[in-house]
């Protein structure tokens, strides 16, 4: 039987889904529920990460805005100064990403509460955090580890958004009013 690229892609996709599901099944959902409790209490939430974790951060920041919360991405030109009482959600698979560590350190110095989403709860980022939310992607397959972490983080943060939506009584019309309409 000849080798088919479609089969290789399908197999790789299934392997990735199995890995993501394994990680999701190990997540401590109480930590995400605690994050869902913290978000509406913060006057402003800043969400950061670098690379693919940064894309997850930007996506979550957008979801917070859709929920009617005030959210910013550090480094954007319209991002205001952080202050005591604000919340920073810092996302990094390794917990050792330089810019993410710096932003977390700076936020803490400014009196913000820092939540670290990481697969490395003993990392430098985790040591800076007031709250660590572990996404236990393993190092067994280093090539897939980051992808598994980011997909799992995105799914977990969408679950947080769904809980917030219910709590904040976000209906379809209020969601539509906040959704981008200049595109």
Could you confirm whether 150 is annotated as catalytic?
yes
Specify the pLDDT at position 179. 82
Task: Tell me the pLDDT tens digit for each residue of 12-21.
Answer: 888 889 889 9
Kindly indicate the confidence band of residue 128, based on its pLDDT and cuts at 50, 70 and 90: very high
Q: Please, which residues have CB within 8 angstroms of residue 148's CB and are 6 or more apart in sequence?
A: 16, 19, 20, 23, 137, 141
Query: Per the residue annotation, which of 76, 96, 150, 183 is the catalytic one?
Result: 150
Q: Confirm if 43 and 86 have CB atoms less than 8 A apart.
A: yes
Q: Confirm if 164 and 37 have CB atoms less than 8 A apart.
A: no
User: Directed axis angle between helix 142-167 and helix 51-66, to 10°?
Assistant: 10
Q: What are the boundaries of each domain within the chain? A: 5-178
Specify the pLDDT at position 16. 86
Q: What is the mean pLDDT of residues 9-36?
A: 92
* Residue with more model confidence, 85 or 140: 85
Q: What is the mean pLDDT of residues 74-86?
A: 96
* CATH architecture observed for domain 5-178: 3-Layer(aba) Sandwich (3.40)
Give percent of the chain with pLDDT exceeding 70: 95
Closest CA to 71 of 59, 150, 135: 59
- Which pair of structure tokens corresponds to residue 176? 């539509």
Q: Please, which residues have CB within 8 angstroms of residue 154's CB and are 6 or more apart in sequence?
A: 56, 59, 60
Kindly indicate the confidence band of residue 147, based on its pLDDT and cuts at 50, 70 and 90: confident
User: Using CA atoms, how far apart are residues 160 and 167, in angstroms rounded to an integer?
Assistant: 11
Q: What is the mean pLDDT of residues 29-34?
A: 97
Q: What is the mean pLDDT of residues 164-177?
A: 85
Task: Look at 23-32, 65-74, 167-176 and tell me which has the smallest mean pLDDT.
Answer: 167-176
């Amino acid at each position: 039987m000849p080798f088919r690229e479609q089969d290789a892609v399908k197999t790789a996709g299934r392997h990735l889904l199995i890995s993501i599901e394994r990680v999701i099944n190990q997540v401590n959902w109480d930590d995400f529920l605690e994050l869902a409790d913290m978000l509406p209490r913060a006057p402003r939430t800043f969400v950061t990460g670098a690379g693919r974790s940064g894309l997850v951060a930007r996506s979550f920041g957008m979801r917070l805005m859709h929920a009617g919360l005030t959210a910013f991405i550090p480094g954007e030109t319209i991002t205001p100064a952080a202050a005591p009482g604000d919340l920073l959600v810092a996302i990094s698979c390794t917990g050792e990403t330089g810019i993410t560590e710096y932003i977390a350190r700076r936020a803490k110095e400014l009196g913000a509460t820092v939540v670290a989403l990481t697969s490395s709860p003993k990392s430098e980022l985790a040591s800076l955090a007031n709250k660590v939310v572990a996404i236990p992607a393993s190092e067994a397959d280093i090539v897939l580890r980051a992808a598994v972490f980011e997909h799992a983080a995105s799914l977990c943060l969408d679950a947080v958004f769904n809980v917030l939506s219910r709590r904040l009584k976000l209906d379809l019309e209020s969601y539509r009013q906040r959704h981008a309409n200049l595109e």
